[in-house]
Amino acid sequence: MGVLFYIFCTTLPSHIIPFTLFWNFQWRSRRMALTLVTVNVLCKMAFAAYCLANGLYFRNLELMFAVIGFLIYCCFLRLSPFKMLFTYLLIVDYLLIIRGIVSVLAVHVFDIPIQGWISSFICILLYGFTLPLLLRFFRQVANLVYRTDAPQLWRIIWLVPAFVTVLALIFTDSYLASSAGSGFFLFCRFGLLICVFAIYYVLLQSLEGLEQQTALRERLIFESRLLEIQMEEEEKRSLLMMDVAQQTRQMRHDLRHHLTAIQAMTGDENPRLSEYITALIRDIPSAVQDYCENPTVNAVISHYAARCQQEGITFATRLTVPTQNTNMDDRSLCIVFANLLENAVEACRRMCEGETFIRLNSRLEYGVLTITMENSFNGTVHMQDGKFYSSKRNGFGIGLSSVQAVAKAHDGDTRFEPEGNVFLSLIYVKL
């Protein structure tokens, strides 16, 4: 009866631990899984009683019931079988280590049967001391394992703890006093303990690095998609700016002719009306200035030049941007110029005192377009890890990040440096 109780004491934790770890995970039927596990334990105890009554060896049947228990979890837990196998092997290794410690204490310290009442109580005490701490470790492993999406890794990595576990089972038998009393038993079981902690420590470090890489990859995908959306919107915006500029030219031209015609029809009968119309003709803004050869970029520059004029910001520019570029389309160029000027206008607008200005220049040499810009700002910047925080919302600024992404995508780079109350921007790209 004492041997049967020992088998029960060493069997129960192998099912308590998985249910504790996976209780909040998705199950196909948690109730059915509990029922089948209970049936599995009862069948194991019945077979153990039969083997003990007839003097049969129970070790192989015990391994069979352990495999059946694992298959029950595989059938009812909505998790990857390879991830479950990896975690399950960790639990098996823990149980083997506890059982090995009990066997060593029974043979070398207390001189009692390995499978008896006292050994069972020692086993319960060891579980009581170690299991609360180990459960925290097991939960950390389980959460990290199931957060890491690496199918190829999980198909192979479980073989490492499996190989160590199989060796410990083959060369040591914790049920036999002759085995537990040998130095080889101590070497194998403590070697298993060291290997388990070493394997899982290294693997946890690797998984954390893999998780960080996965998060970085997802972030890059998100930023890439965000950049694509911004490029599409910038293209629509630049086309709209070009249409508005063309319509403005046409309306200005037609308005001047209409006013000239009206002035001619008034003749000398109403000199005050004639003077008023003359003043209107004189005050009509001149045609949109051509800032560079590229019409799309020119529309963007014209838009922000008009905003600067409205807000009293001194705007000076000298640009060289060719019409046709083999390595960089107009959308990417618009993202660079529009984001730079948008940030500069916002920075000037937030200034409470001092001169507000924007000086934008570009030059083309050997196929490399270099853009430099200086703009005034209030002298306050917030940075972390080389990135600027947005002044309009929480989080990092999207504008400068987009400029950096476009530059790197076109064999270039960026540099942004605040110096006093002047913010310097330097960008170069290959056209």
The residue to which tokens 């890794």 are assigned: 153
- Which among 120, 7, 8, 105 is positioned nearest to 59, based on CA atoms? 7
DSSP H/E element including 340: helix 330-349
On whether the CB atoms of residues 221 and 405 are closer than 8 A, the answer is no
Section 92-98 average pLDDT: 75
Q: What integer pLDDT is reported at residue 315 of this predicted model? A: 93
In eight-state DSSP terms, residue 393 is S
CATH code for the structural domain at 292-431:
3.30.565.10
On whether the CB atoms of residues 320 and 364 are closer than 8 A, the answer is yes
Paired with 422 in beta bridges are 376, 419
Predicted confidence band of residue 316 (pLDDT cuts 50, 70, 90): very high
Which residues contact residue 137 at a Cβ distance below 8 angstroms, ignoring those fewer than 6 apart? none
Q: What integer pLDDT is reported at residue 118 of this predicted model? A: 79
Q: In this model, does residue 336 exceed pLDDT 50? A: yes
DSSP string, 189-207: HHHHHHHHHHHHHHHHHHH
pLDDT above 90 as % of the chain: 10
**22-53 per-position pLDDT tens digit:** 777 778 888 888 888 888 888 888 877 777 77
Q: In this model, does residue 197 exceed pLDDT 90? A: no
On whether the CB atoms of residues 159 and 191 are closer than 8 A, the answer is no
| Helix/strand/coil for 232 | helix
Which residues contact residue 319 at a Cβ distance below 8 angstroms, ignoring those fewer than 6 apart? 291, 292, 297, 301, 360, 361, 362
On whether the CB atoms of residues 35 and 19 are closer than 8 A, the answer is no
**136-177 per-position pLDDT tens digit:** 777 776 666 676 666 777 777 777 777 767 766 665 554 444
In the chain, where are the structural domains located?
Answer: 2-218, 292-431
Q: What integer pLDDT is reported at residue 357 of this predicted model? A: 94
**116-127 per-position pLDDT tens digit:** 777 778 777 877
Q: Identity (one letter) of the amino acid at 376?
A: S
Q: What integer pLDDT is reported at residue 374 of this predicted model? A: 94
Residue 53 CB neighbour total at 10 angstroms:
9
Q: What integer pLDDT is reported at residue 394 of this predicted model? A: 47
In eight-state DSSP terms, residue 420 is T
Least confident of 251-260, 321-330, 360-369: 251-260
178: its two tokens: 């002759």
How far, in Å, are 284, 303, 376 from residue 306 at the CA level?
Answer: 15, 5, 18
Q: Is the pTM of this model over 0.75?
A: no
Q: In this model, does residue 375 exceed pLDDT 90? A: yes
pLDDT above 70 as % of the chain: 66
426: its two tokens: 């330097």
* 87-91, 204-208, 211-215 — most confident range: 87-91
